[in-house]
Amino acid sequence: ALNNEHAKGSLDIAIVGGGLVGSVEALYLAKRGHNVRIYEYREDIRKTPQVRGRSINLALSVRGRRALKDVGLEQHIIEEHGIPMKGRRIHRLDGSTYVIPYDARNNQCIYSVGRNYLNASLLKESDNYENVTKYFNHKLIEANLQKGTLTFLKTDTKENVDVKADLIIGADGAFSAVRKSMMKQPLFDYTQKYIEHGYLELCIPADEQGSFQMPANYLHIWPRGNFMMIALPNQDCSWTVTLFMPFTSFKSIDTEDKLLAFFEKYFPDSIALIGRKKLIEDFFGGSPSPLVFVKCRPYHVEDKALLIGDAAHAVVPFYGQGMNAGFEDCTILDHLFQKYNDDLAKILLEFSDTRWIDTFEICDLALYNYIEMRDLVTRPSYRIRKALDDLIYWLLPDIWVPLYNSVTFTTMPYSECAKNRQWQNKVLKYIFTVLGVSTLVGVFYAFK
C-alpha cells in the first residue's frame, strides 16, 4: 500500500538515510512545518553498540556548527561533548613534538565529536517533532524518482514497503542507492575514484588514572612523507588513531614482527601509548578501509528528488570537511526554502546549479590537504609560508584569510577560498622574488 499521508499546507518529504546529514536535514524541514519521514537502513543507533569501520570521531568546524546552531544543538554538542583542538601537534621520528596552531590570530579551534553521539543527539532531537517519523531497518532497494515512489526492504521482517512522497531526499551516503537511480537519467555526470591509500583505526586508551596519555587539545599527526598517522581525542580520554597509507604497504605488513618493526621505525613513541598487545590485536583485527571521492551533477530530478551530503559529494577525509559540507548543504537548502517559499522546482534547480561549484572544490582541496598533512608540514618551506600567511592575516584580517582558516573558520564558499589562495600565492611569489633580487643586489654591491 502506498503510504502518503499528508497534512494540509505542508510537503510530504521522504529522506533516505538517517545518518548525520539526513538527520540534520530532517530537523530543518520539521522546523519549517513539513512532514518528514526518515528511512534508515540500519537499526536505531541509539540502541546498538558502536560498530568498527566508520571513523569513531570527527572534526566539527564552523560550517557544521552553523547548521547545529540552526537546529538548536550547537551549544549542547560543543559545550557538553566536543573536545577543542587548537592546532596540529606534530610528532617527529624521535618522539619530540611541536605545535602548529590552526588560528594564531583569533585562537579558534575545531572540535572532536563522537560520530555516534552526534547522530544519536540529532535523532533524539527529532523525537521532539510530531511531524518527523523514523523508520529504521528500511533499506532502499528501488526508486522511481520522477514519480516520487520508493521501495524499501524491511530488513527485520523481509517485507517490501512502497512509499510515495512530494520530495525524496537522498542522504544515503557515498554509495547512495538514490544516486544509483538518478544515474539512469540522461546528462547525469558522475565520477568516482578510490585513492591508492586506505585507513585503519587503532586506539590509544586512557591511562590508569583514566586521563589522556597525550596533550588533549590537539589533533596529533605523525607525518611520514607518503603516509601518516593521526589521533583525535575521545570523551573517555582515549584517542582514535587512524593510520593512512597505501594498500600495498598495509599488505606488506603481514606478521607481528613486521608490524612492530614498522612502528619502531616510523612511530616509535606511539607503541608505549597504544600498547604492544593492543597494537597487534587492533591492526590484525581489522582490515584497511578504502577512501573514495565522488563528484556528480545535477543533484536533482525535476521537483521530485535531491541528493545531499556524501550521496552528492563524498570527499576524502583530510580536510575534515565531509560532514561539515553536508551540514552546509542543509543550511543552504533551508535558505532556498525560505527564498522560494517552498517552491520545490525553483529550490532544487538553484541548489543543483550552484552547489556543485563549491563541493567539487572541497573535493580537490581535501586531496591536496592529504599531501600537506603527511608531507609538507615537515618542510621548512611550509613553515615559512605558514608564518608569512599568519603575519599578513594578522596585519590585514579583512583582506588576507589563509586557506585553512577560510575553509575551517568561515562560511566563505569553498570556491572563493580556493580563488583567494591563488592570488595569495601570486603575491607571495612576488614578495619572494623581490626579496631574492634585493638580496642578490645587496650581496653584489657588498662584495664589489
Point out which residues bind ligand FAD (CB under 6 A). 16-22, 39-42, 55, 58-59, 138-140, 171-173, 177, 199, 309-311, 317, 320-324, 326
> Does the CA dihedral 79-82-88-90 come out positive or negative?
positive
Please say which residue, 193 or 265, places its beta carbon nearer to ligand FAD: 193
Rg (CA), the chain: 24
Q: Which is nearer to ligand FAD, 233 or 322 (CB)?
A: 322
Q: For ligand FAD, give the closer residue by CB, 120 or 206.
A: 120
**For 34, phi and psi rounded to 5 degrees?**
-85, 160
Single out the residue of 227, 15, 230 nearest to residue 123, CA to CA: 15
Residue 106 Cβ, how far from ligand FAD at the closest point, in Å?
21
- Cβ atoms of 40 and 17 within 8 Å: the answer is yes
Instruction: List residues bridging with 21 in a β-sheet.
Output: none
Minimum distance of ligand FAD from residue 301's CB (angstroms): 17
CA distance 198 to 289: 5
Smallest distance from ligand FAD to CB 396, Å = 29
Residue among 67 and 392 whose Cβ is closer to ligand FAD: 67
Which lies closer to ligand FAD via its Cβ, residue 46 or residue 276? 46
Closest CA to 61 of 30, 43, 86, 39: 86
Select the residue whose beta carbon is closest to ligand FAD and give its number.
19
Cell representation of residue 216: 588533549
Query: CA 423, CA 400: separation in Å to the nearest integer?
Result: 10
Cell of 213: 596519555
153: part of which helix (H) or strand (E)?
strand 149-154
* In the complex, least distance from residue 320 CB atom to ligand FAD, rounded to whole angstroms: 4
Which whole-number Å values give the CA distances from 350 to 298, 304, 361, 412, in the listed order?
10, 14, 18, 18
Q: How far is CA 208 from CA 201, 233, 238, in A?
A: 22, 17, 11
State the nearest-atom distance from the C-beta of 18 to ligand FAD, in Å. 6
Which residue number, 171 or 336, has a Cβ lying nearer to ligand FAD?
171
Q: How far is the CB of 54 from ligand FAD (least distance, A)?
A: 6
Least separation in angstroms between CB 399 and ligand FAD? 28
The C-alpha cell at 313 is: 559529494
Considering the complex, state which of residue 33 and residue 290 has its C-beta at the smaller distance from ligand FAD. Answer: 290
